[in-house]
């Protein structure tokens, strides 16, 4: 059994980690922190978890909480992991960070895209980027893992195979993405209340969204290409889900079958990627760690269309973190994770 501590377990990603770990045959929760909810029972904050955690209570964070843990998940806001990872390292065998603190290769990108310098840049090279479909060999047995963002996961899985195969121009690609409100986190915000979100659909982060360089890094590293994207996310009136519609200029004259075949070949052995002619939908991935992808070639305009859908709290966050953790501790990567979505 792997003893697991979740630091920052009171947010949506933390709650999803608790839910997944409750049915994981090899993970045992020994601590769940939530400084803003310290003293609150997990079952009171999330009644959906009452049946599996009737006695678990959120506790304040201290470094020594992880001394008995084999595996630590960090579900903290951006910036918080940078401050504590130097103290946590060596106390637990494996650390999986769900925030963006250690995702980017270049520390110089943090002031530009995150508004402040990185406080532990010496650790960036020690973290493995946790997108198993692209970088599985790096994740296996890793001590430190940075799980990708939900937007990046969706866009990268859509774009990666065609870029790597040289079927599309890697620069000037367009990513239009719709995301559910849970991606904004549990604390209430003026733009995420029911009245603000219901029956609305709006773009945000125009030309400045912080996941832009991460998309370019993930696809570029996988495909060994100089990648450039324009990324526009949209807030959709749904709880969960991400749908990324991506466009790139064709190289040569590939057909739709050519691009789909490249996707099929790339993901043939992947337990969580479904390639199909069907147009992906967020509902089809709900509650699962799966990503559904498809592609079309528009011969009239010379553009290639690639679409992917995921559950942002599963494959986009907590599920992918568990997938990475399974690889790190030597378990089959699909252990404890759902492939089939919920419906209706």
Active site residues: 150
Cα dihedral 289→247→226→250 (10° resolution): 120
Q: Which residue has the tokens 């843990």?
A: 69
Phi first, then psi: give them for residue 320, nearest 5 degrees. -65, -35
Distances (CA, A) of 138 to 132, 143, 238, 289, 318: 9, 10, 34, 20, 19
Strand partners, 129: 146
Residue count of the chain, please give it: 344
Query: What's the gap between Cα 38 and its chain centre?
Result: 26
Q: Where are the alpha helices (DSSP H) in 147-294?
A: 150-164, 194-197, 212-223, 256-266, 282-285
Number of Cα atoms under 13 Å in the Cβ half of residue 275:
23
Q: Which residue has the tokens 């519609």?
A: 245
Q: What is the largest CA-CA distance in the chain?
A: 62
DSSP for 32-71, written as a single string: EB-GGGTT-BHHHH-GGGTTT-SS-B-B---GGGGTT-SE
Closest alpha carbon to 256 in 174, 163, 153, 167: 167
Tell me if residue 266 falls in helix, strand or coil. helix
230 token code pair: 């324009």
């Amino acid at each position: 059994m792997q003893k697991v501590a979740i630091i920052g377990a009171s947010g949506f990603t933390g709650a999803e980690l608790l839910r997944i770990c409750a049915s994981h045959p090899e993970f045992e929760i020994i601590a769940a922190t939530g400084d803003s909810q310290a003293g609150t029972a997990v079952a009171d904050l999330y009644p959906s978890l009452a049946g599996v955690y009737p006695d678990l209570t959120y506790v304040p964070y201290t470094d020594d909480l992880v001394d008995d843990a084999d595996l630590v998940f960090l579900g903290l806001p951006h910036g918080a992991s940078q401050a504590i990872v130097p103290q946590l390292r060596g106390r637990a065998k494996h650390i999986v960070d769900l925030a963006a603190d250690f995702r980017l290769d270049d520390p110089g990108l943090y002031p530009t895209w995150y508004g402040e310098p990185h406080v532990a840049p010496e650790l960036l090279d020690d973290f493995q980027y946790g997108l198993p479909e692209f970088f599985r060999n790096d994740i296996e047995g890793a001590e430190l893992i940075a799980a990708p963002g939900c937007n990046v996961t969706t866009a990268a899985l859509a774009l990666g195979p065609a870029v790597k195969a040289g079927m599309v121009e890697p620069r000037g690609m367009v990513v239009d993405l719709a995301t559910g409100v849970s991606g904004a986190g549990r604390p209430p915000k003026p733009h995420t209340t029911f009245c603000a979100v219901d029956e609305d659909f709006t773009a945000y982060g125009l030309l400045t969204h912080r996941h832009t360089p991460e998309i370019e890094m993930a696809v570029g590293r996988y495909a060994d290409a100089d990648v450039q994207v324009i990324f526009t996310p949209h807030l959709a009136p749904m709880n969960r889900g991400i749908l990324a519609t991506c466009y790139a200029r064709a190289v040569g004259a590939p057909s739709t079958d050519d691009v789909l075949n490249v996707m099929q070949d790339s993901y043939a052995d992947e337990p969580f990627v479904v390639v199909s002619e069907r147009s992906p939908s967020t509902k089809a991935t709900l509650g699962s760690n799966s990503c559904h992808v498809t592609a079309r070639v528009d011969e009239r305009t010379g553009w290639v269309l690639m679409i992917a859908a995921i559950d942002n709290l599963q494959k986009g966050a907590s599920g992918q973190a568990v997938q990475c953790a399974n690889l790190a501790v030597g378990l089959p990567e699909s252990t404890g994770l759902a492939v089939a979505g919920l419906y209706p």
